[in-house]
Amino acid sequence: MSERRGDTVWLAELKRAPDALFSPVWRTRSFIDQSDAETPRSAHLDAAAIAGLTDDESEIIFLGYRSGVPYFSMDVSHLEEPESHPSLIGKGEFADIRDVSLFMPREEGAMLAYAKAIAYWHHTHRFCGRCGSPTVTEEAGHVRRCGNPECNTQHFPRTDSAVIMLVHRGDKVILARKKGWPEGRHSILAGFVEPGETLEGAVTREVLEEVGVPVTNVRYHSSQPWPFPGNLMLGYFAEALSDDLTVCDDELEHARWFTRDELMEEALAFRKQPTAVSIARRLLAEWVTGEEP
Chain residues that interact with Zn ion, rule: CB under 5 A? 128, 130-131, 133, 146, 148, 151, 153
CB of 129 to Zn ion, least distance (A): 8
CA-closest candidate to residue 283, choices 193, 184, 164: 164
Measured in degrees and rounded to the nearest 5, phi and psi for residue 21 equal: -125, 145
CB of 58 to Zn ion, least distance (A): 18
CB of 78 to Zn ion, least distance (A): 24
Helix/strand/coil for 157: coil
CB of 147 to Zn ion, least distance (A): 8
Radius of gyration (C-alpha) of the chain in whole angstroms: 22
CA-closest candidate to residue 208, choices 243, 245, 234: 245
According to the 3-state scheme, what is the secondary structure of 95-113?
Answer: ECHHHHHHHCCHHHHHHHH
H or E segment and range at residue 175: strand 172-178
Whether 41 contacts 35, CB under 8 Å: no
User: In whole angstroms, what is the distance from residue 239 CA to residue 218 CA?
Assistant: 7
CB of 122 to Zn ion, least distance (A): 16
